Amino acid sequence: MSIIVLVFLIIYFFQERFIFKNGERIHGNYLYNFLNSFEEIFIKIDGNSIINALHFKLKKPKGIILFCHGNSGNLQKWGNRVSYFLDYNYEVFVFDYRNYGKSTGNFNEAKMYNDALLMYNHIKKSYKEDTIVVYGFSLGSTFATRIASINNPKELILEAPFFNFKKAVQYYSKFAPIFLLKYKFRTDLDIVKVTSPITIFHGNKDQITSFKDAKTLLELNTLKENIFIQIDGGTHHNIRENKLYELKLQEILER
């Protein structure tokens, strides 16, 4: 019995290491190196904490994509991946969550949501909302949805989202002790408040987030412009390699 209690205590007190991959920190003096032109930004949040962000710029962009990344990796990784969107003539703003990369601050659900909103407000100072696309991948889908539920971006695009964190964990591991979760991430409660068009891309072979739950998630919002795009054979990490994804993304960004 004592062993079971010990295991539960470890899961409860160290769950951030499993959820956020321990933040994947990098040294504050690290110099990013990407092929595309970018500006590194530090934005002060609560207390003495900061959020580290990258802004990939273009001379005459059609708009800007605020990208909320997944739970694995930091800007060293995601800076390369999001440059993909520059080909669609959209600038990209991507940030590391608190305690990821060079960002500081402790993991906290409410504060992480607030950080994401602060990033959107930062962008709004220089860009009109009808030129801002909010994009969330996996864990980032919950932050992207919260942003869109309070603001009016041009589009909300979700790639491999989850319904809420409880259901996500149950899908990933049927035997996980759900009652120990400190994080809720209720994307399902936020998506009903979104008034911008929503597009969800999800692979039907995704073994990390549920394809079925993603469809149910979109059904909670009744806006007629919403689109669910099934990527046949798509897994959690290869959706952007699919031609249908490329074609549909171009259509969405051009509308």
Listed residue (88, 35, 134, 65) closest to 245, CA to CA: 88
Residue 12: pLDDT band with limits 50, 70, 90:
low
Instruction: Locate all alpha helices (DSSP H) within 93-242, ordered by sequence.
Output: 109-124, 140-150, 165-172, 187-191, 211-219
The neighbouring-strand residues paired with 79 are none
With bands split at pLDDT 50, 70 and 90, how would you rate the model's confidence at 22?
Answer: low
Please give the Cα distance from 168 to 117 (Å, whole number).
23
Label residue 177 by pLDDT band (50, 70, 90). confident
Say whether pLDDT at 176 is over 60: yes
Q: What is the mean pLDDT of the chain?
A: 92
Q: Predicted confidence band at 27 (pLDDT cuts at 50, 70, 90)? A: confident
Alpha helices in the chain (DSSP H): 2-13, 15-19, 75-82, 109-124, 140-150, 165-172, 187-191, 211-219, 243-254
Instruction: Give the confidence band of 28 by pLDDT, cuts at 50, 70, 90.
Output: confident
The answer, yes or no, to whether residue 18 has pLDDT greater than 90, is no
DSSP code at position 134: E
Q: How confident is the model at residue 1 (pLDDT cuts 50, 70, 90)?
A: very low
Q: Which of 156, 174, 172, 245 is nearest to 206 (CA)?
A: 172
Residue 180 is predicted with a pLDDT of: 75
Instruction: Please state the pTM of the whole predicted model.
Output: 0.94
Q: Which residues are bridge partners to 229 per DSSP?
A: 201
Model pLDDT, residue 6: 45
The SS3 call for residue 25 is strand
Q: What is the pLDDT of residues 97-153, one digit of tens each?
A: 999 999 999 999 999 999 999 999 999 999 999 999 999 999 999 999 999 999 999
Q: Is residue 240 scored above 80 in pLDDT?
A: yes
Domains defined along the chain, listed by start: 2-254 (3.40.50.1820)
